[in-house]
């Protein structure tokens, strides 16, 4: 499954304001139905829906090196969870301050917990 990144600032704002939110120990997850999903699906050569994904890291997390490390860890955790998710959504992940000493497997477990609470995991039949 493929995901693309969210590049427009207004989409981050929409996800933060209107999206469903789950906060865990290390991160917060925001999920919003993507209204452009059908248009993007028709433009996609495979004709499949996919999620648009973004990471928003504040300066509270640390300096530039720490923020870049956190982004890499979050992307790796999301990549591991992504095949089990429903498609056609905007997904924004925002880390919390305690994430600096966490591994991607811990992030993966936390993301699974969050997506389960947000009803984003696919049923086993599909």
In the chain, count of helices (H) and strands (E)? 4, 5
pLDDT in tens, 32-77: 998 888 888 888 887 888 899 999 999 999 999 999 999 999 999 9
Q: What pLDDT sits at residue 46?
A: 79
pLDDT at residue 125 tops 60? no
At 111, the pLDDT band (50, 70, 90 cuts) reads very high
Distance (Å, whole) CA 100 – CA 82: 22
Distance (Å, whole) CA 60 – CA 24: 17
User: Residue 103 to residues 51, 82, 109, 123: CA-CA distances in angstroms?
Assistant: 24, 17, 10, 27
Q: Take residue 20 and report the two structure tokens written for it.
A: 């469903």
pLDDT in tens, 83-103: 999 998 999 999 998 898 888
Higher local confidence (pLDDT), 102 or 1: 102
51-55, strands of its sheet edge to edge: 3-5, 51-55, 89-95, 27-33, 20-23
Q: What pLDDT sits at residue 126?
A: 46
Cβ contact 31:118 at 8 Å: yes
Nearest CA to 72 out of 99, 46, 91 is that of: 99
């Amino acid at each position: 499954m493929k995901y693309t990144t969210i590049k427009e600032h207004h989409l981050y704002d929409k996800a933060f304001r209107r999206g469903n939110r789950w906060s865990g120990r290390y991160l917060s997850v925001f999920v919003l139905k993507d209204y452009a999903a059908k248009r993007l699906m028709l433009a996609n050569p495979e004709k499949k829906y996919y999620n648009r994904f973004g990471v928003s890291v504040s300066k509270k997390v640390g300096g530039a090196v720490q923020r870049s490390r956190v982004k890499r860890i979050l992307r790796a955790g999301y990549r591991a969870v992504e095949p089990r998710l429903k498609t056609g959504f905007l997904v924004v992940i925002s880390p919390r301050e305690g994430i600096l000493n966490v591994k991607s497997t811990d992030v993966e477990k936390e993301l699974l917990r969050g997506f389960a609470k947000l009803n984003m995991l696919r049923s086993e039949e599909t």
